[in-house]
Amino acid sequence: MAKNIMIQGTMSNVGKSILCAALCRIFRQDGYRVTPFKSQNMALNSFITRDGCEMGRAQVVQAEAAGIEPDVRMNPILLKPTTDVGSQVIINGKPIGNMNAMEYYRQKREFIPVIMDAYNSLAAEFDIIVIEGAGSPAEINLKQNDIVNMGLAEMVNAPVLLVGDIDRGGVFAQLYGTIALLEDHERNRIKGTIVNKFRGDRKILEPGIKILEQLCGVPVAGVIPYVNLDIDDEDSLTEKFNTNTEPKDIDIAVIRLPKISNFSDFSPFENYPNVSLRYVSKTADLHQPDLIILPGTKSTIADLLWLRESGLEALIKQKSSEGIPVFGICGGFQMLGCTISDPLQTEASGTYKCEGMGLLPIDTVFWEEKIQKQSSGTITGLTGIFETLNGSDFVGYEIHMGQNVQLQNPVINAGNVYGSYIHGIFDAPEINHLILKALCEKKRILFDSLAGFDLKAHKDQQYDLLAETVLNSMDMNLIYSIIERCN
């Protein structure tokens, strides 16, 4: 039976997911069979496993760091927000319907057998399970039915490390205040704290660390520096959206839809030194990009209407008419079509049918069935600026409710407007190279100046750098002693 350790945070976005990935990598490097686990994940950035199950992207990243294939058991409950107060509920990789927040809150303890079956199954196969919490364990209005923080820690008897984010300020209050709000039996589970995203000289921090250790009664297990690593973020809290990137030789604009999902689709383009990837949410920021991408979304109709109301739809159509290529993925692909119909109110938008942008010859209809599968094949039949993609092999996955009877190929186009349901289609070096090369030729720029890029090798390098950073900043002897002592 596996031993375990759990990472909880003082709030969302303190770095729990990345620290779990770091521990997965370190334990793997030390020769252990290690797996991640998060009982309940709320995120729009998801992935489809080999057997067609949907899971949160954060656990996929952690599985990659651990050197194992993503498995839906690592994330048995996934919530994909559809509105501000409701989500699609996915159990063991399959959707069971939409629930509002209160409805799910009342029912979530009914999912404990699902959580424990997944956990126990993994525990029988691995040496160590690295568990990630969600939000904060000190949400005193939600603690009664907790299945993801201290409630889960008790169910699987896990020791806890509590992480605070010093970059946003008040880290001592974060950590001490969180522990103070816990009940005695919960407080006893915390075996150490971690100060994350630190910038500066640790010596200046030392007096505060000593006082914090006295107040909390547990050691500070590490002070992790703020580092810029290219590792997929969990959800829309990602700092990528808030970065003002200056246009470079090749400028790619991704439309930041309100319910944007699977934005990791575009990560490969971020790794070319002369390519800028900008997230745009208003007309004034679109400028004159070389490529416009419409990403996936959990609320296609609502986000299309937002695009229309914001003025971005008209501007994108104008840019398209001027010859700037447009590429839609999944929900963005559907928006580019002629019509979108939702007769069963699958998206619960209140709109049963709306006109699309009219740039691609497809009509989308939402039915109850959700398409979830990994996909591979060869691109054929394209014309326009990206016709050089013909003959290129792709590997990716599909997650969508809408269906289109007109589709014959994995990627279609009308002029310089392209669309596909394939998430991850840009990951293949051949495909992203050919896209960038075509954009370079249009601008009369030498493609060689962008430099080559190997995504798999790059990911491995980033995970190793992450592990090295944490190893140099964390007391791993303490971590191993906590695992041994508490399991």
Active site positions, annotated:
330, 423
332 three-state secondary structure: helix
Contact 440, 250 (CB under 8 A): yes
Report which DSSP code applies to 12: T
Distance CA 258, CA 237 (A): 12
Contact 355, 339 (CB under 8 A): yes
> 418 pairs with which residues across the strands?
327, 413
Contact 196, 166 (CB under 8 A): yes
Distance CA 308, CA 325 (A): 19
Segment holding 484, helix H or strand E: helix 476-486
Distance CA 39, CA 104 (A): 15
Locate 182 and state its tokens: 């816990």
Q: Helices in 30-168 by DSSP H: which ranges? A: 57-66, 101-107, 112-123, 150-156
Sheet holding 417-420, edge to edge: 275-280, 250-255, 291-294, 326-329, 417-420, 411-414
Distance CA 86, CA 171 (A): 31
Locate 246 and state its tokens: 């200056």
- For CA atoms 365, 301, 233, 179, the dihedral sign is negative
Distance CA 318, CA 325 (A): 11
